Chains A and B, each alone.
Chain A
Amino acid sequence: MGEILVLVDHVDGAVRKPTLELLTLARRLGEPSAVFLGKGADAATETLGRYGAQKVYVVDAAEIDDYLVVPKADALAQIAQSANPAAILVPSSADGREIGARVAVRLGSGLITDAVDVVAGENGPETEQSVFAATYQVRAHVTKGTPVITVKPNAATPEEAPATPAVESVSVEFSRAATGTKIVSRAPREKSDRPELTEADIVVSGGRGVNGAENFVVIERLADSLGAAVGASRAAVDAGWYPHSHQVGQTGTQVSPQLYIAAGISGAIQHRAGMQTSKTIVAINKDEDAPIFDLVDYGVVGDLFKVVPQLEEEINKRK
């Protein structure tokens, strides 16, 4: 079976969950090798092995942290050129998509972005994408070069398959372009105790109907009673009521939880693009004609400031 390169998404060696999903998917296609760029490989190797990485390529160079995207693309492309893998899987994140894009151009390979599933097929990996605001499912495959596929979070459930990976330290010859875009400063995002949007089983979102930053506590309390992540519509984010990192939709985060609760959200196509594939959808809106009600498994026409606190109280009572 061929080697499958998986680009590791990590924060200082702490491997993020999408990478474990990618390793799990990679095992369907061949033998996974993790590509670890930056600092903290020692801390990551055990985790990567536990999820089936047979090999870990490590590139630890200052360029990786100090410059945007290109050094990582250089490293991944160079490893791909010598390993000649059967496919390259990359997390669908801001950086991941752009790394994948550059590697695809460099290798003369086809690129598929935002896969929600990857399986082995006759012509190499077959992908599934959810497109046009999640109204269509597209199956596709790459026809030229080494398939480069970016994969969305939650595309698979991580499964352990313990291995003891061989660690190979790689020294990369960076291109002239590598130092073109300098990262001048970095402000880490605020950490919260709530689950991350893309990883949560339940998401509770508030929209323009929440009517003020100070009122978002109503949404947060419901979320906490369910152990859920908090989301927001662009209208709520644009108004400055909630941080952009919580925006659900086309230009925010796309989520696909077991349960999505929308309060004071009308259900515009761009919002639906980010939540339409949720298993169960519930909405609270005072307008019975709000388009969000076309999607719901259960809906309440009413004032969210009455319905949401009552729901929270009822949930806490039943615990």
Chain B
Amino acid sequence: MKIVVCVKYVPDATGDRGFNEDGTSDRESVDSLLSELDEYAIEQALQIVESGVEAEITYLTVGPDDAKDALRKALAMGGDKAIHVNDDDIQGTDALGTSLILAKAIEKSGYDLVVCGMASTDGNMGVVPAMLAERLGVPQVTFLDEVKVEGGVVKGRREGDVASETIEASLPAVVSVTDRTGEARFPSFKGIMAAKKKPLENLDLDDLGVESDEVGLSAAWSTVDSATARPPRSKGEVVEDEGDGGVKLAEFLAAKKFI
């Protein structure tokens, strides 16, 4: 069977992230990397294959030129091939548009199972997997802390709004996994060398039959009016505990009327 893992290339969360004049996210001043939460998706796809399910793993990203780095890292962890959708007209696309492009690329490559992260570490919306399921017309088995594929059925545990739920669906399906599914492996040296030889296909909007006026900043379904840096918190008083740290803290809380 065919597994497609969606991975996003994002500005490093530990860097000084910000916005451009036009409200799009600034990808120049901060290094980008494979979204850490997508490493869990890669790990689970690899484990599904290692559990005995015969499958080919394809990584898919929609992003700028450097987004290839994310695909290379994924391929170094394991898996078979990668697809990079890149087009000048994509910049500034919102979740509706991104899910449209991803869905077209997934349909083109063929799939039985789509695996996503729970959310990107930049937009952090946690909606693309549900949108993909909606667009592809297949079940969503999302937000899983545990995932298993057996006999054409995908099953998992989801921390729902008020209960912990066991959910299942028949393939084909879209899955998303949380950071509680287990730590992702590091690429080995051998893996990094092998990744260089794995096929990486480049696609643009034409290849996917997406019109350039359907996506991108000008076609976005929503628009940013302003993005303002919050003033950094000013650092208050920090005292050394000399046996009365708790009392001093209580005095602070009392002055602030918390006690």
Contact = CB atoms under 8 A, between A and B. Distances in A.
A301 B241 contact: yes
A214 interface: no
Interface stretch (A44-52, A56-64, A131-139): A131-139
Interface residues of B, number: 84
A310 B251 CA distance: 12
Interface stretch (A20-28, A79-87, A160-168, A277-285): A277-285
Contacts of B179: 234, 251
A69 B17 CA distance: 33
Interface in A120-150: 126, 130-145, 147
Contact of B235 (A284, A294, A314): A294
Interface in A258-316: 258-259, 269-270, 276, 280-282, 284, 288, 293-303, 306-315
Contacts of A113: 95, 125-127
B258 A270 contact: no
B77 interface: no
A301 B130 contact: no
B202 interface: no
Contacts of B14: 269
A100 interface: yes
A95 B160 contact: yes
B185 interface: no
A138 B122 CA distance: 13
A309 B126 CA distance: 39
B233 interface: yes
Contacts of A259: 253, 256, 258
A114 B125 contact: yes
A306 B245 contact: yes
Contacts of A131: 124, 227
B239 A140 contact: no
Contacts of A313: 246
A109 interface: yes
A8 interface: no
B199 to A, nearest CB: 31
B224 A311 contact: no
Contacts of A295: 233, 235
A307 B246 contact: yes
A154 interface: no
A142 B221 contact: yes
A288 B163 CA distance: 40
A35 interface: no
Interface stretch (B65-73, B80-88, B132-140): B132-140
Contacts of B131: 101-102, 104-105
A301 B124 contact: no
Nearest to A187: B164
A251 B178 contact: yes
A137 B161 contact: no
A153 to B, nearest CB: 11
B94 interface: yes
B252 interface: yes
Contacts of B121: 250
Given A110-B222, A131-B124, A141-B225, A94 B230 contact: no
Q: Which 3 A-B pairs have the closest CB atoms?
A: A310-B246, A302-B241, A110-B221
9 contacts: A68-B140, A95-B161, A97-B127, A110-B222, A180-B169, A182-B167, A182-B169, A282-B253, A288-B238
Interface of A: 9, 11, 68-70, 73, 93-98, 100-102, 104-106, 108-114, 126, 130-145, 147, 177, 180-189, 202, 226, 234, 244-245, 250-251, 258-259, 269-270, 276, 280-282, 284, 288, 293-303, 306-315, 318-319
